[in-house]
Structure 1
Amino acid sequence: MTHPSLPTTMSGVQLSGHGGLETLNYRTDLKVPSPGPNQVLIRVGAAAINNTDINTRIGWYSKSVTQATDAGGRHGFEALASQDASWAGQPLSFPRIQGADCCGRIVAVGEGVAPQRLGQRVLVRPLQSPLHAVTDDHPDCITWGSECDGAFAQFALCRASEAYRVNSRLSDAELAAIPCAYSTAENMLHRANLGAGERVLITGASGGVGSAAIELARRRNARVWAVSQPNKHASLLAMGVERVFSRDSDLLAEVGPESVQVVIDLVAGNHTATLMELLCRGGRYAIAGAIAGPLIQLDMRTLYLKDLSLLGCTVQPRVVFENLLDYLERDQLSPKIAGRFPLSQIRQAQQVFLQKRHVGKLILEPHGPQAGSGPLPE
């Protein structure tokens, strides 16, 4: 069943291959897809930019790349093994429409989907069960916008089971800041079992995942410390962070060893060993990114003599996303929007993203600016 006013063509951004910003091609002649069995078609109100979009475009996930993500963010990497350049370790199919974040409305449904779902406002779960999986307990997952087309277009297909109805006062732009960043942050806190009164240190705290982790950790009544650039300290303190440290701080000298129960790390790189030293005995270290570099040196005695738990966080149980929907309906989340761009300016938006001067999320709007979301960047 389809909305009667649905067009036959749409605008969208196709990724033509791994490489620089030139591989992002904005087109106005793409065919609007039709939903198959158990699928819905979503009119995308807003999408958002994430590190995974950049990493996938430049092929940073390949083990042939050892540099930080900003080394290839604009131009890609000359030496790249494309056979493992996706985050899932499999070659991508091109052209691909990226975009893991989506808020929009269902405008068509396929066979097996209740027609009552037409018109529903939805959020798409970004980390999904593999297409071949029968149950949700599969050890692997796919990213919407990586292994299948995503939200960087005016319309997008999604399995009906992964499009969640949302009831919220927030705008489409604000809601589009939720799925990838907040589910990553909530999954890390869930895996680390962060409790009330515990002290948690969050790296990369001004980005989309970092700022979400601050909000979600405070929701759990934890005591939050953060690491970020000096020009962002005031913004983070205003979010309720107890202490903020610069990236080049000597944390061991400033706070001493064994001073936090949990580390939420989105950066990795040269500071990883220090972060391990900051953990109390029995502490938990959760990581879901390595933007400062994937290769580290670590004294394994710190890990085992202190009984630390090292948690790599990618696959997300469905309850993580369902928790976020519950928080939204309770009006407990306030996503931070750093800027808004029309989809046609995706290259400019990714350049702003790579400068890392913003706090919060950068939003892309395929149909133009939405009401209640603030001005577009100049």
Structure 2
Amino acid sequence: MRAVRILEHGGPEVMEVAEVPVPAPRAGEVLVRVSAVALNNTDLWTREGAYGRPEDPQARSGWRGPVGFPRIQGADVAGRVVAMGADVDEDLVGRRVVVDPALYDGDGPDAHPVGLMGSERDGGYAEFVTAPAARVHDMTESPLTDDQLAALPTAYGTALGMIERGRLRTGETVLVSGASGGVGLAAVQIARARGARVLAISSGPKTGAVREAGAHEVVDRARDLAERIRAAAPEGIDVVLDVVAGDLVGDGLPLLREGGRWVVAGALGGFRVTFDVRRLYLHNAQVIGSAMHTPTHFRLLMDLARRAGIQPVIAAAFPLDQAARAQEELARRRHVGKIVMHP
């Protein structure tokens, strides 16, 4: 089969299109023919080795540690089950599926993700990929396209994990940073579906698309951001869904209402943060880290997708052999929505 692998950490030049054996599903696994695979920032950061390690923030690392090379990237897979290993229900063969890409620290419904397909194991930048049968969700009846289904796992899973951990309730005011990106746009859509009042931060050319996705108001990030947010929500913010971090945390924490929750799932604006801790404890605020989703969150997401309760936006599609070009397009951040590839 054709696959795109990274041979080491580095730029797009470390990616190669190769002919490799079709993986054989082991006991408890299925083999999925990939129809569409979506790109994420984690693809860029895993390729670059940009995640660091607890003991050395500057170390080159994958999502949760050293990457075994060569590695087939790609966390977000939609496709059809074509074969199975031992101890797997035969009824899955032929079903249209989405793969939960998380590797969990246990089997329970609230297990934490400690690894990711495409980083800690081979992923979907290929014609075929194996996955545990327990992590394959039957989406045969979903009206969403394969491209839209592939857009769901990482971006929408991360967004739903943030919303669940932040305990967002109907009628609350939520602020979404990086709202034109994959996770941000997903957060806007899901928060709006939850009945929240959605404020979004984006740049001028993309504000229309963010508003169309469900934001009640879009704040331009260009200048005087904290004051613009205060003007849009003078009563304060209940929940922040933040993939930017950096200066936004220190500037924005005073905008939280009593008992507000600031949920962080990214660091596009910088991973070193300074804030006035008095704004935290005097107002019973919480800063919550959120890495992807739990199995329970992912099942909720799949239920939402089966009834088309969300409509992922597809920005562009590339053939698999243009993976390097697709990643370069992702890195430019000129698009709104998700970039996908077709093996």
TM-score if structure 1 supplies the norm length? Answer: 0.86
Cα displacement (A) at 1:293: 1.1
Q: 2:78 aligns with which of 103, 123, 133?
A: 103
- Residue 222 of structure 1 and its aligned partner are, at CA, apart by 0.4
1:136 positional shift: 4.9
SS at match of 1:341: strand
Q: Deviations over 1:112-147 (max 9, x none)?
A: 0122211011100122324xx454554452211111
Match of 2:288 among 303, 311, 317: 311
- Give yes or no for the alignment of 1:156 onto 2:146: no
Give 1:36's match in structure 2, choosing from 15, 26, 31: 26
Residue equivalent to 1:129: 104
1:337–1:360 contact (8 Å) kept in structure 2: yes
1:361 shift after superposition: 0.1
Cα distance between partner residues in 2 of 1:258 and 1:269: 24
Give, as a single letter, the amino acid of the residue that structure 1 aligns with 2:336.
Answer: V
Alignment of 1:238-249 (within 5 A): 238-249=212-223
SS of 1:41's partner is strand
* Aligned counterparts of 1:150 and 1:158: Cα–Cα separation in 2: 9
User: Which residue of structure 2 lines up, in the alignment, with residue 372 of structure 1?
Assistant: none
CA distance, structure 2, for counterparts of residue 135 and residue 254 of structure 1: 43
Q: Which one of 145, 152, 155 corresponds to residue 178 of structure 1?
A: 152
Match of 1:20 among 11, 19, 26: 11
Structure 2 runs not aligned, ≥5 long: none
Say how many residue pairs are matched.
338
Partner-residue secondary structure (3-state), 1:145: coil
1:87 aligns with: 63
2:334 is the alignment partner of 1:361: no
SS of 1:102 mapped into structure 2: strand
SS at match of 2:72: coil
Q: Is 1:112 aligned to residue 80 of structure 2?
A: no
Q: Which amino acid aligns with 1:12?
A: A
Residue-by-residue CA offset, 1:213-250 (whole Å, 9 max, x unaligned): 01100100100001111110111122231211122332
Name the SS of the counterpart of 2:238 in structure 1.
strand
Distance in 2, matches of 1:81 and 1:364, equals 30
User: 1:41, 1:195 → 2: CA distance?
Assistant: 39
Runs of 4+ in 1 over 3 A off after TM superposition: 63-66, 133-140
Paired-residue identity, %: 41
State the partner residue of 1:50: 40
Distance 2:176 2:218 in 1: 10
| RMSD of Structure 2 on Structure 1 (CA) | 1.6
Normalising by structure 2, what TM-score? 0.94
Q: Which residue of 2 aligns with 1:4?
A: none
**In 1, Cα distance between the equivalents of 2:107 and 2:134?**
12
Who is 1:75 aligned against?
none
Unaligned runs of 5+ in 1: 1-9, 67-79, 367-378
CA 16–338 in structure 1, closer or farther in 2 if over 3 Å, else same: same
Residue type of the partner of 1:38? Answer: G
Q: For residues 148-203 of structure 1, what are the alpha-carbon distances to aligned partners after superposition, in whole Å with 9 as ceiling and x for unaligned?
A: 11111000010110111112122111111111111100010011111111110100
Report the Cα offset of residue 259 of structure 1.
1.5
Contact 2:97 2:138 in 1 (8 A): yes
Alignment check: 8 A CA contact 1:228 1:247 kept: yes
User: Paired residue for 2:225?
Assistant: 251
Code of the aligned partner of 2:49:
G
